[in-house]
Amino acid sequence: MKSLPASPLAAAVLAASFFAPLAATAAGGAAPAKADLARGQAVASQVCVACHTVDGTRGLAANPILAGQHPEYLAKQLHDFKAGRRINAIMQGFAATLSEEDIVNVSAFYASLKPVPGTSRNPDLLLLGERIWRGGIAAKNVPACAGCHSPNGAGIPAQYPRLSGQHAEYVESSLRAYRAGERANNAQMLAIAANLSDREIAALADYAAGLR
């Protein structure tokens, strides 16, 4: 998923548009709604369970692990799906059914769960992944992933998502989507992924999976 300074590009491996607050404020500048974990669990059980499992842990590798993810990041992605800033037919359909309160609650619920550690599985790529994660690729203007997602992949709350333990397959597909312009809700990640090769993407994804 530190001795190196953060890059001026300030972003790394995955996921995406990380600056919005947990919930958009209501018209007139009202404060965001307070999260209700029980209601969030109900939404997760009714809407999210098929793809993300009831506890948001290690379901299908094509779908992201949500347990322990920063609530601000989860809410931002749901808002982006709902507004069409992030394109995925399945998620756009589900997000369209969620109220602002639902988004606040389900994001907080998944964030409250303890993440289950993952593992790196490709020893041939481990050193390359570690090198890029910690030092970037200066010749390609790729910053160190650790600068934004932290050395251990925990991310920075309200800014950058947790990547430690995330499915390597999901991280890899997300980086490829950024590189192809298919996922376009974060300009920094679009610029970074554009400079990564297939091998570099695979190495980063596998390295992040083993961080803890």
The per-residue pLDDT for range 92-139, each reduced to its tens digit, is: 999 999 999 999 999 999 999 998 899 999 999 999 999 999 999 999
Question: Averaged over 17-45, what is the pLDDT?
Answer: 64
Q: Which residue has the higher pLDDT, 179 or 115?
A: 179
Q: How far apart are the first and last CA of the chain?
A: 7
Q: Give the span between the Cα atoms of 66 and 126, in whole angstroms.
A: 24
Of the two residues 18 and 212, the one the predictor is more confident about is 212
Q: What is the pTM of this model?
A: 0.83
Taking alpha carbons only, the member of 108, 109, 111, 129 closest to residue 119 is 129
- Interacting residues of 127 by C-beta distance below 8 A, sequence separation 6+: none
CA separation for the pair 36, 23 (Å, rounded): 13
- Percentage with pLDDT > 70 across the chain: 84
Rounded mean pLDDT, 13-25? 36
Residues of the chain with pLDDT > 90, as a percent, come to: 78
Q: Please give the pLDDT value at position 27.
A: 37
Q: What pLDDT score does 115 carry?
A: 87
Answer for the pair 188, 11: CB distance below 8 angstroms, yes or no: yes
Q: What domains can you pick out in the chain, each with its CATH number? A: 37-112 (1.10.760.10), 123-209 (1.10.760.10)
Residue 9 has pLDDT above 80, yes or no: no
Structure token pair of residue 150: 């932290």
What does the pLDDT read at residue 33? 66
Nearest-angstrom CA–CA distance, 82 and 93 = 8
Residue pLDDT, tens place only, 57-106: 888 999 999 999 999 999 999 999 999 999 999 999 999 999 999 999 99
Q: How far apart are CA 165 and CA 32, in angstroms?
A: 30
Q: What is the pLDDT of residue 32?
A: 57
Distance from C-alpha of 212 to C-alpha of 173, rounded to nearest angstrom = 21
